[in-house]
Structure 1
Amino acid sequence: MHGPASPGWLLVALCAATGAYCLLRMRSGVEEQRRAAGGEALMGFGMAAMAVPPAAFTPPAWAWPVYAAVFGAAALRALWAARASVHHLHHLVGTGAMAYMAAVMAASPSPAHAHAPGGSGVPLLTGTLLLYFTGYVLLSGVRLLPVAGAAGAAVAWSDRPEVARACRLSMGIGMLAMLLTI
């Protein structure tokens, strides 16, 4: 590592690549997959933008409330969509976590010090989100294990379920990394 900014840049690259693949998945012939990919692309690019190390770029004070509003709106959309599919509950938790992190960053006295550890322990909501995403990452990792006898037919890149699962896993890992810095 070349300093404290290196993990941040790795997280930026991971999340941006995941967001880019999710944009590719939006070309799928399956409508539900297209909708999910759009929300996941927003999460990937939003996580990439929020993970830029403060030494490289300190966003203006108004950026964090804007992030909170965007992800708050995405959380409301996920809440509405959760009526039809349980999968959207995970999107609700993810977008809610992003809105929460943006609100914490907006309330911090200095963006450069927002990533510094300290304080009187882990807040309850942060701890709960850490537990949720730890479980999600472990479960997503298990789902990537190959199944005996499962021969896949030729599928377009935008319809590859194992790549979509790997993207979800990487975003879960990214979410854990971001929550650990709060």
Structure 2
Amino acid sequence: MHGPAWPAWLLVALCAATGAYCLLRMRSGVEEQRSAAGGEALMGFGMAAMAVPATVFSPPGWAWPLYAAVFAAAALRAVWAARAGPHHLHHLVGTGAMVYMSLTMELSPTAHHHAHAATGVPLVTGVLLIYFTGYVLLSGARLVPCAVAAGGTGTAAGGTGTGGTAAGGTAAVRWGDRPELARACRLSMGIGMVAMLLAL
């Protein structure tokens, strides 16, 4: 991606950490977690690789079409999975955005810049920015009540012996099964997507 190096490295770290947690979620005992975790891990690591500063590593010309093909296949899988619930529609938009960014990076040399702009592609960037900005704001607003509720549960648990047992049960929940962490991962990837689209 274009732009200063240190924000790009922060974005690489954020996306790679998110992808690693999504791999952990693939071992979850909850079917809903497992069904989405693989695609989200692919998104996280793909975004991390794409965010590496161009001054450090410039992928060969064949890499971007390969990226586009991989995420196009992921988009087709998201279309099929969308029958199970609306959450997969967000995966479809995300994988579509990755295909778009891959093709844009392939055309990013200066020789193609004016022809690229003349096709109206910035309009696509703007639409994706609006979508992911809205997604980030909505996801953040939904995540705050979860954190408050979790804090309240902990306080109540400390008050009674029975609550302590409940707290122990909550603490025993595997990291891959925690829905609030899954939402935080999706929020992180949404933020990363906004940053990447702005730097495109």
* Structure 2: distance between partners of 1:96 and 1:40: 13
* Structure 1: distance between partners of 2:142 and 2:178: 14
* Structure 2: distance between partners of 1:83 and 1:24: 25
TM-score by length of 2: 0.81
Residues 71-86 of structure 1 aligned to structure 2 (within 5 Å): 71-86=71-86
Residue of structure 1 in register with 2:47 after alignment: 47
Q: Calculate percent identity across the aligned residue pairs.
A: 78
Residue of structure 2 in register with 1:173 after alignment: 191
Residues 6-17 of structure 1 aligned to structure 2 (within 5 Å): 6-17=6-17
Residue of structure 2 in register with 1:22 after alignment: 22
CA RMSD of aligned residues (A): 2.3
* Structure 2: distance between partners of 1:47 and 1:149: 31
Residue of structure 2 in register with 1:161 after alignment: 179
Residue of structure 2 in register with 1:137 after alignment: 136
* Structure 2: distance between partners of 1:88 and 1:34: 13
Q: Which runs of 5+ in 2 are unaligned?
A: 155-169
* Structure 2: distance between partners of 1:29 and 1:22: 14
Residue of structure 1 in register with 2:92 after alignment: 92
TM-superposed CA distance for 1:109, in Å, is 2.0
* Structure 1: distance between partners of 2:30 and 2:149: 25
Secondary structure, aligned partner of 1:137: helix
Aligned residues: 176
Amino acid at match of 2:196: M
Larger Rg: 2
> Would you say 1:125 and 2:124 are equivalent positions?
yes
Provide closer, same or farther for how the CA distance between residues 80 and 149 of structure 1 changes in structure 2, counting only shifts above 3 A: closer
Deviations 1:34-85 (A, max 9, x none): 1201110000000000000000000000000000000011001101111221
Residue of structure 2 in register with 1:36 after alignment: 36
Amino acid at match of 1:70: V
Amino acid at match of 1:21: Y
TM-superposed CA distance for 1:32, in Å, is 2.1
* Structure 2: distance between partners of 1:9 and 1:149: 33
TM-superposed CA distance for 1:107, in Å, is 1.7
* Structure 2: distance between partners of 1:136 and 1:65: 27
The structure with the largest helix share of the pair is: 2
